[in-house]
A and B are shown apart, each in its own frame.
Chain A
Amino acid sequence: CVPLKGAWLFTPLSNMATVKSELTEHFTSKERVHRSKVSIVGTGSVGMACPISILLKGLSDELAIVDPDEGKLKGETVDLQNGSPFMKMPSTVCSKDYLVTANSSLVIVTAGAHQEKGETRLNLKLSAFPKNRVIGSGCNLGTARFHFLIGQKLGIHSESCRGWILREHGDSSVPVWSGVNIAGVPLKDLDSDIGTDKDPEQWKNVHKEVIASAYEIIKMNTSCTIGLSVADLTESILKNLRRTHPVSTIIKGLYEIDEEVFLSIPCILGENGITNLIKIKLTPEEEAHLKECKNTLGNSEGAEALKLSKTTILKLLKRS
């Protein structure tokens, strides 16, 4: 397949000098080696929220987009390409064939309900990947919302409010109240009932709002934040930043969990994907919540990731 790249151009074949040959002197035809190519699978609203963030942050040296719907794919890609004078990235390519993703450092999978039969081939490959290279975007977005809402309550920018939400993106996420701190001051030291029903300030509602807002926003079919969250993770991976993020990985052997389940816990992300896990200290209640219903989790988070459900983003690293 030929990647679509402004493919309507008709270049006349001629032996006579072209403007290009008159203008430029050729030095070398070395094959391009992509060092930070990112591929995105799926052009739904979640999929298309990612390119603009990645492009404006200049994170990769090529962006490839894959989707079976060729019309939409081409439309979105040309729209992005038309903006290239305003960005500092070389190219965006697309195809309905996965070949266009070759040599990617990072593949972001956002496919939704419109999967073709060919998708199962992708699913099966996932389980053959080493576990450090299969990452679920997990609670990165929920934690970002948590930061924002804590910040709103205290009148401080979200970046200065530290708090982690773990386990699973959605209703059964676990806010780690013992870790919530500003400038190193744990809020639990100031309000020992924080996060419980006895709490006079009802901080528990902050977590409830994180969950509720996800539903509210989905109803509106918007997805700007998810693109920002994905770009955030992409940056850590491609630049080998080794920052900590709450992403989903296979947990086995931690917190007395024996099965292979996908849970979000703080991970260090770098060019090899997840290189370390943070052994976060949980209170007995928090640990109980984390392990709770793990029977269903074995089917839910992990299997959902493998089935590529609508709200889960799973990133695979594939370096050849």
Chain B
Amino acid sequence: MSTVKEQLIEKLIEDDKNSQCKITVVGTGAVGMACAISILLKDLADELALVDVASDKLKGEMMDLQHGSLFFSTSKITSGTDYSVSANSRIVIVTAGARQQEGETRLALVQRNVTIMKSIIPAIVHYSPDCKILVVSNPVDILTYVVWKISGLPITRVIGSGCNLDSARFRYLIGEKLGVHPTSCHGWIIGEHGDSSVPLWSGVNVAGVALKTLDPKLGTDSDKEHWKNIHKQVIQSAYEIIKLKGYTSWAIGLSVMDLVGSILKNLRRVHPVSTMVKGLYGIKEEIFLSIPCVLGRNGVSDVVKINLNSEEEALFKKSAETLWNIQKDLIF
């Protein structure tokens, strides 16, 4: 007796099960899921895979997304605690990692994350040898270095989400101060994602008008309008939000979506993301810091050579030293 399906549908050719544009998200916490929903709403992938260690949560999250398939165009959503589910991914987004415990030193936290990455990265690379890895877990600059070291991939294909979010926050706050939408305000924050990030005041502009030409003291302590506070607020944002709601998710999810879009569609837009900066600005060690990078199908294909003034360069190098002091003692 024929089934409804057999009576209804005449098959002409086997379904092609190979995805063209698969994305895997490792870690289904708030950040991972914010990345997932943003990617789905932007129709960036034709397959999404979720990986985590907690199998119940993982299944629940996967089902929840699958049930929304009427509202978006990603036909295949899978999940698994085993990395085989991530096979043939174009991009793997790593949001997994240990959270800092009270009284724990940064070195100890990073060392714990090295252990976690050692259990994740080799499997990712095994199943998707051609992928780009986007590292989101914090401290992102050090962890991008760790992931790069463990993966054995070229530096072009291991990217830290870095200061893409800091710059977004910067542009949002500049926009608020000027009454202009953030997409029309341009400003770059580079260096370490975190307390010692470097705002490039000379580059801050709207419609090509550099704000520094209107206010030469912009970003300094003697600036009457205290524009420097905007950078302080960028640094404080994450702490504030964590204090208020326990974690941050939406902005980082959107930031990741922004980067994924540039990579998958080979847009070659410039983003401040964390990449290897050895050899630049007098840095001699293998450090990853955010600088403006051109992102395309191959990952980071070019970097923009920004002229830093002496103060900015000093801050940049200081970040590098801080990071190296932790990195040099890591045991792989």
Residues of A within 8 A of B (CB): 5-6, 8-12, 14, 16, 18-20, 22-24, 51-53, 56-57, 71-72, 74-76, 78-88, 90, 141, 144-145, 147-148, 151, 153-159, 182, 185, 187, 190-191, 194, 200-201, 203, 213, 216-217, 219-220, 222-225, 227-229, 231-232
Contact = CB atoms under 8 A, between A and B. Distances in A.
Chain B, interface size category, equals 35 or more
Contact of B214 (A22, A151, A157): A22
A12 B60 contact: no
A71 B178 contact: no
Contact of B182 (A76, A84, A203): A84
Contacts, number: 201
B249 interface: yes
Given A86-B168, A222-B60, A224-B37, A10 B226 contact: yes
B324 interface: no
Nearest to A16: B224
B82 interface: no
Given A9-B177, A52-B37, A84 B243 contact: no
Nearest to B2: A190
Interface in B206-232: 206, 209, 211, 214-215, 218, 224-227, 229
A5 B176 contact: yes
B279 interface: no
B178 A23 contact: yes
Given A84-B172, A84-B175, A157 B8 contact: no
Given A52-B38, A158-B69, A12 B226 contact: yes
B310 interface: no
B68 interface: yes
Interface in B221-249: 224-227, 229, 233, 237, 240-246, 248-249
Contacts of A216: 60, 63
A107 to B, nearest CB: 21
Given A71-B245, A82-B172, 7 more contacts: A6-B176, A14-B224, A52-B253, A75-B241, A75-B242, A213-B67, A216-B63
Contacts of B224: 12, 14, 16
B65 A56 contact: no
A119 to B, nearest CB: 22
B61 interface: yes
B72 to A, nearest CB: 7
Contacts of A185: 8
Interface in B135-188: 165, 167-169, 171-173, 175-183
A52 B34 CA distance: 9
A147 B7 contact: no
Given A74-B244, A229-B68, A10 B255 contact: no
Contact of B66 (A85, A148, A187, A227): A148
B34 A144 contact: no
Contact of B9 (A90, A154, A228): A154
Contacts of B257: 86
A12 B179 CA distance: 16
Nearest to A86: B254
Contact of A19 (B67, B168, B225): B225
Interface in B1-21: 1, 3-5, 7-9, 15
Contact of B215 (A22, A147, A213): A22
B177 to A, nearest CB: 7
10 contacts: A19-B215, A51-B250, A83-B255, A84-B181, A156-B9, A182-B8, A185-B8, A190-B8, A217-B63, A225-B67
B104 interface: no
Main secondary structure of the interface of A (DSSP, over half): helix
A200 B177 CA distance: 66
Contacts of B67: 141, 144-145, 148, 213, 217, 225
Nearest to A214: B67
A200 B1 contact: yes
B5 A153 contact: yes
Nearest to B3: A201
Nearest to B178: A20
Interface in B61-80: 61, 63-72, 75
B64 A217 contact: yes
Contacts of A57: 41
Given A153-B5, A224-B37, A10 B229 contact: yes
A76 B64 contact: no
B56 A220 contact: yes
Contacts of B180: 24
B70 A148 contact: yes
Contact of A90 (B177, B181, B237): B181
B178 A56 contact: no
